[in-house]
Structure 1
Amino acid sequence: MAEADLQRFLRKVEQLNALVASLEEDPLRRQAFAACVDHNQVVQLARGWGFEIGRRWGEASTELESAAPAANAPCRSPFCVDPEPLLRSPLPEAGTERVRELQRGSDWRLDLIHSCEASSPPQFWYDQTEHEWLILLRGSARLCLTEPDQMLDLSVGDSLYLPPHRRHRLERTDPDPGTLWLALYWEESVGEGRPAPARITNQ
């Protein structure tokens, strides 16, 4: 085990021990913790109390988010660091999403999507003509897909490919600090066949 991995492991153990101690001291906190229905809720609740326990062993998202900010001055060169770091995207209002286009080509675009307790309207389904590949940079989400019917729970590092016309809707995303997605869209290529089932990959 590398020293950096060992330090992350020890830090997580320290945070877990402190969380357990706080639950033993506060019955109301213990009750709220027991009411969580999945691990993502546990992580979010613990984070709200100041404990960073991570979704998986060795997850380093907190360290990435605490990195020094880039310079505020805008940079026109394509080789410059983005003046607005991805993991510091401003939190949108609860129940909404904010989409920021990062790059675009003639038949593709790369978007950063920040969701806060967002979900699709009742009976609404995305039915897009583009291919879509996405990865979660922060938080968690639940998607519902059709043909075939699927319910997918995504966490940090999970990626998903959606072919054109694979109908889907957003069931939920995390509250503050929200769910952060990186989504790549591209146009249908000549000679492609019928849409394939969605594929989810855990990184």
Structure 2
Amino acid sequence: MAEAQLQQFLAKIAQLNAFVALSEADPALRQALRDCSSHHEVVALAAGFGFDIGRRWGDQPARRSPGPADQPNLLEGLPPEPGQERVEVLLQTPGLRLERIHSNAAASPAGFWYQQDESEWVLVLRGSARLQFEDEPEPRDLCVGDSLLIRAGRRHRVVATDPTPGTLWLALFWSASA
């Protein structure tokens, strides 16, 4: 681990320790923590008290000026507004499409299920997400490095993605004829 990453890691630990100390001294905050049902809710609660515990060590702040258009850095760029996602097509051929998806505290609308004509393989590059398949009782938790194959026609929905800086996905779509 490089020194800069070590310092970033230690700063996050200090933020976590300070937030824990505050929660031990404040019964209302401790109850609010108890009421949280996900990592995202804890991160949002901590942010409300001025603590930045959501960014993972090793994550670099987004640069405002990306490199040349023909050499994009997949991990850079400002996130979309909370509740939104931004889709960039990186490569497209007949029957095949590669997308970079940047989600920010996004979820599928209540009652909405994707049911695509294409198969999709997704890889989480940064952040985390919860996906629900209609035919499974519990959502699946995905984090950095996790990938998932979604066969054409399989109903699924996004339950949650990370708040700012968001969740970055790489998604490959193909049709049965590809």
Change beyond 3 A, Cα 1:99–1:126: same
1:127-176 CA-partner distances (Å, limit 9, x unpaired): 21222111223333222213455522223332211111111122233333
Q: In percent, how many aligned pairs have the same letter?
A: 46
Task: Note the 1:122-137 alignment, pairs <5 A.
Answer: 122-137=110-125
How many angstroms does 1:123 deviate by?
A: 3.5
Please say if residues 114 and 157 of structure 2, whose CA atoms lie closer than 8 Å, have aligned partners that are also in contact.
yes
Give the distance between the partners of 1:6 and 1:73, measured in 2 at CA.
Answer: 27
1:100-143 CA-partner distances (Å, limit 9, x unpaired): 11222343222111223333234432221222111223333222
Higher relative contact order (CA 8 A, sep 6+): 2
Give the distance between the partners of 2:54 and 2:27, measured in 1 at CA.
Answer: 20
Please say if residues 134 and 155 of structure 2, whose CA atoms lie closer than 8 Å, have aligned partners that are also in contact.
yes
SS of 1:103's equivalent in the other structure is: strand
Change beyond 3 A, Cα 1:15–1:86: same
How many angstroms does 1:99 deviate by?
A: 0.9
Task: Note the 1:94-173 alignment, pairs <5 A.
Answer: 94-147=82-135, 151-173=139-161
Moved more, 131-140 or 27-36: 27-36
Return 5+ residue gaps in structure 2 as ranges.
none
What is the TM-score normalised by the length of structure 1?
A: 0.66
Change beyond 3 A, Cα 1:113–1:7: same
How many angstroms does 1:35 deviate by?
A: 2.2
What is the TM-score normalised by the length of structure 2?
A: 0.73
Aligned to 1:200: none
Picking from 158, 170, 175, the partner of 1:182 is 170
Aligned to 2:22: 22
RMSD between aligned residues: 3.3
Give the distance between the partners of 1:93 and 1:3, measured in 2 at CA.
Answer: 32
